């Protein structure tokens, strides 16, 4: 079951400059920013919380990563919406059975010690949807 919005992913070219800008906008202190490299996804992230929603800035680590392709094709902006699920494996199976196109057949390791898996934007009206589940709440299989 999908239980709520976990975070909004925003693709950026320059992580430092965009972080400075968004930190000013939302009044975020450097200590409240989580930084992480997710090599498997080819991204470096900076994330922070506004109210109860996490904002995740994503900058590409390599030129062939999905975020680099996105920036080249569409420019900076909202890259994905991530929704929390209490059982990511089951939710993936259910969404596939309902006709949604899976990017990931199996959950993968993402930032913040989460299992993550994507649904293709072609099957969700142009919005890249991520499902996520904390690794502490199950092994993703």
Our CA angle for 131, 39, 127, nearest 5°, is 35
Least distance to ligand CMX, CB of residue 71, Å: 10
Q: Is the separation of the CB atoms in 84 and 57 below 8 Å?
A: no
Q: Could you tell me which stretch among 19-27, 47-55, 87-95, 114-122 binds ligand CMX (CB under 6 A)?
A: 114-122
Two structure tokens written together for 94: 């259910």
**Cβ neighbour number for residue 38 with a 10 Å cutoff:** 18
If we measure between CA atoms, which residue out of 139, 132, 138, 136 comes closest to residue 41? 132
Q: In what order do the strands lie in the sheet with 2-11?
A: 34-38, 43-50, 53-60, 2-11, 77-85, 129-134, 114-119, 108-109
115 binds ligand CMX (CB under 6 A): no
Q: Which of 44, 84, 118, 131 binds ligand CMX (CB under 6 A)?
A: 118
84 binds ligand CMX (CB under 6 A): no
Least distance to ligand CMX, CB of residue 30, Å: 21
129 binds ligand CMX (CB under 6 A): no
140 binds ligand CMX (CB under 6 A): no
Two structure tokens written together for 127: 């919005």
Here's the x/- map for ligand CMX, 41-70, by CB under 6 A: it reads as x-x--------------x-------xx-xx
Q: Is the separation of the CB atoms in 19 and 67 below 8 Å?
A: no
Least distance to ligand CMX, CB of residue 132, Å: 9
* Interface positions with ligand CMX (CB under 6 A): 9, 38, 41, 43, 58, 66-67, 69-70, 73-74, 79-80, 103, 110-111, 118, 120-121, 126, 128
């Amino acid at each position: 079951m999908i239980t709520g919005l976990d975070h909004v992913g925003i693709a950026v070219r320059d992580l430092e400059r965009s972080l400075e800008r968004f930190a000013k906008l939302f009044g975020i202190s450097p200590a409240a920013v989580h930084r992480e490299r997710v090599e498997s996804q080819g991204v470096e992230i900076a994330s922070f919380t506004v109210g109860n929603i996490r904002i995740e800035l994503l900058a590409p680590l390599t030129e062939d990563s999905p975020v680099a392709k996105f920036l080249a094709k569409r420019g900076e902006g909202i890259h994905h919406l991530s929704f929390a699920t209490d059982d990511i494996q089951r939710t993936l199976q259910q969404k596939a059975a309902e006709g949604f196109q899976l990017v990931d057949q199996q959950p993968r390791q993402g930032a913040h010690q989460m299992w993550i898996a994507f649904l293709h934007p072609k099957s969700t009206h142009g919005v890249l949807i991520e499902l996520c589940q904390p690794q502490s709440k199950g092994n993703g299989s």
